Amino acid sequence: MEGPLSFQARLSPAGDPTATLDNFHLGLGASVVDITGDFATRPTLRADVLLTLHSLAAGDLAPFLALPSPLTNATLSGRWSIRASSTNINADGTFDAQAPTLGIAGSVGIKTDGAIHEVRLSPTSFHLEETPFVPGVRGNGPLSGQWKIKISSTHWTIAGEMAGDSAVLSYGGWLEKPTGAPFTLAGSAEGTEGKDPAIALDLRTPELNITPGGPWPTEFHLSGKVGLTGEFQGPLSNLAFDVSADGESLDTTYGSSFRKPTESALALSAAGRIKKQRDIEISAATIRTAAGAFDVRGDVTDLMNTPTLRLVVKGTISDLTQVGRLLPPVADYRLRGQTTIDANVNGPAKDPVVDGRIHLSHAAVTPVAGVTLSEMNGKIRFTQDTANIESLSGKTFGSPFSLSGRINHFNRPTIVLDGRWDRLEVEKLLKLFSPTTPPSPKTPAAPSPAINALDSSAPIAQAIGVFRIGEIVHPHYVGRDFQFNWNFTDVGPNLSVLSGTASVTAATGEIKNVPVANKINKLMNREGSDIAYNKLAGLFWVTQGMAEIKSFVLNSDQTDFFAKGHVRLGDMESDLRLMLKLPPGSVRGSVGNWITADDGRPTIEAALKGPLRDPKVKVDYRDTVRRAAQDIFKKTLGGWKGKPDRPGTPTHSDGNPAPKSSENPLEDLGRDALEKIFKKK
């Protein structure tokens, strides 16, 4: 190593051991040093000089002084007052130290005995590029505080504190401390030859700016201000951390499924370890929102490249109303109540697999306008695309219900349910799915306002299951111990696309306030317009909202009732053929003879058309007219087979023209007699 050397000194001729160095200039490699001051060799070696470092390169000192690897390319300039003896050196002054990734300026104090070097730094400014000490961190600006450094050939330590309110700091290009925001850092670091350095830091910065572009999925948006405090301790390869953040001012979204509005409560705390500067082990973490709090445990691996999650999440949502504000897709469902959640999150952060369990407590939801499920309690297990309803109870339309089942494939789900409902008021339910104006018989029913209020892209489902209802109530019907089994495809808010099969049974019940029941009771010399039954069973095939009644049987002491035909589910518009069979001998006299079929039972057939809530019933007289005519013939004409003249045009009892007369006038007489019996009162 070469360089220029010049000096000028003065010695005392009287034997004084002190020498005065007027000027000493040394150029050594990239280093340039000037020294002035006094030296003495007796009685011991001492010096009191002023050292000016125009440029001192750490590499030039390597043959004389072992330095840690981060400082081997550093340069130092400054002006120091030095007092030295044969055993130690003390120096005070100013410095400006620069390395490729780190620069710092301020005042300095140095003390060394040749083996141990102690440095006291009071930094006044800095600049920082990415460095192994703090990966991803950059910054510059004025500083205050003091650090103490101790260096030996095999060991070094640094400790102190620093404030940088007017400095600018950033991490990863997405996290920034702006100028003017408070910032304090206290800590220490220690390194030994051949070992990973260990650090202990306490960081407090209550105002950080987050911009989009952090190490998270592309659908995740995070921006705004956050306050951060953190403690870090241990070797860089296994660094323990304890951090907390206040994110009330953050604006956060995840696609269209999650949104945290600005000024909505959000606080995070986490403790764990950063391993190999790439993996995070979370031993305890808590997320607090306006809706509730969640605890998180687990790992995040390969954080800076392809983050992979292995997390366990447990929490309590104490106010489900807030969930609608955080999760826009469920806002219209008006969630209320409480729930606890246990979940597992595994796989790539961009597309994790989620499964867990939800426990509802006094919850409520409005899945369709006008339908509210309240007082719900129960457990639901879920995965990324399934949900198992283990036990769910609550109330709807004022009546308790219970439910278990499974939902597969949320996009187009298959729903399997097993439930019980104490009481169902059919009229209330039908109003939700009925059009506001009656449709044309040839036109499918339009969806109700409740349906139109739903998202038109609501998933169409396949539904399979059984529902048991303690009592079904309708203005014209009461059924008890009702059971409904179904297997439907294309289930959705629009009943016009529903297809599948269903069956119903009921143990006992009544058909009430139906005109045909009044006629039946009249025939049997009974009062009222009700029919009490002890068995009901039906089988239905549904094709695009049109239900075909394959069989329907109702048994009672008054009559056995059979039905076939079609019912349009959107508006319950019906076209049915009915048959009523009365007990043998229950109708006496001529009428009994006229309506008794070949099996010996009085039988009435009728057509039922129109909306089921107010149908039109028309009795089919064909077989009955024939039998009535035969009976009239036997009793009044004694076997005469002529065809008497019929004066005028026959009319019904209501004054309207009668249908075209049959070829047998006796049948006309029979029809007139029956119409008088079945005329509407």
pLDDT digits (tens, 9 = 90+) for 382-435: 888 888 998 899 998 888 999 999 988 877 888 899 999 999 887 777 666 554
Q: What's the burial of 194, exposed, middle or buried (CB within 10 Å: 0-12/13-18/19+)?
A: exposed
Looking at per-residue confidence, does 131 or 483 come out higher?
483
Q: What pLDDT was estimated at residue 558? A: 73
Looking at per-residue confidence, does 594 or 20 come out higher?
20
**Is it the case that residue 216 has pLDDT exceeding 60?**
yes
**Short-list 127, 132, 129, CA closest to 143:** 127
Measured between alpha carbons, how far apart are the two ends of the chain, in Å?
A: 128
Q: What's the burial of 248, exposed, middle or buried (CB within 10 Å: 0-12/13-18/19+)?
A: middle
| Bond preceding residue 43 cis, omega within 30 of 0 | yes
By the 8 A CB rule, do 369 and 344 touch? Answer: no
**Is it the case that residue 43 has pLDDT exceeding 60?**
yes
- Model confidence band, residue 350 (pLDDT cutoffs 50, 70, 90): confident
Q: What is the largest CA-CA distance in the chain?
A: 179
Q: What pLDDT was estimated at residue 616? A: 83
Q: In angstroms, how far is CA 107 from the centroid of its own chain?
A: 55
Burial 383-408 (b: 16+ CB within 10 A, else e): eeeebbbeebbbbbbebebbbbbbbb
The alpha carbon torsion through 586, 590, 591, 597 (nearest 10 deg) reads: 70
Q: What pLDDT was estimated at residue 367? A: 75
By the 8 A CB rule, do 218 and 350 touch? Answer: yes
- Number of helices (H) and strands (E), helices first, in the chain? 8, 39
Query: Rounded to 5 degrees, what are φ and ψ at 666?
Result: -65, -35
Q: What is the mean pLDDT of residues 200-210?
A: 92
Distance CA 186, CA 181 (A): 17
Q: What is the mean pLDDT of residues 508-531?
A: 69
Identify the sign of the CA torsion 324, 330, 332, 334. Answer: negative
**Is it the case that residue 378 has pLDDT exceeding 90?**
yes
Tens-digit pLDDT profile for residues 538-596 = 999 999 889 999 999 988 877 788 999 999 987 888 999 988 787 787 666 666 666 67
Tokens standing for 604? 């009435």
Q: What pLDDT was estimated at residue 457? A: 42
Looking at per-residue confidence, does 218 or 488 come out higher?
488
Share of the chain above pLDDT 70, in %: 80
Whole-model pTM above 0.85? no
Please report, as a single letter, which amino acid is at residue 182: P
Q: What pLDDT was estimated at residue 635? A: 60
What kind and span of H or E run contains 288? strand 279-289
Three-class secondary structure of residue 329 per DSSP: helix
Q: What is the mean pLDDT of residues 126-149?
A: 85
Query: Rounded to 5 degrees, what are φ and ψ at 278?
Result: -150, -25
Rg (CA), the chain: 47
Q: In angstroms, how far is CA 105 from the centroid of its own chain?
A: 51
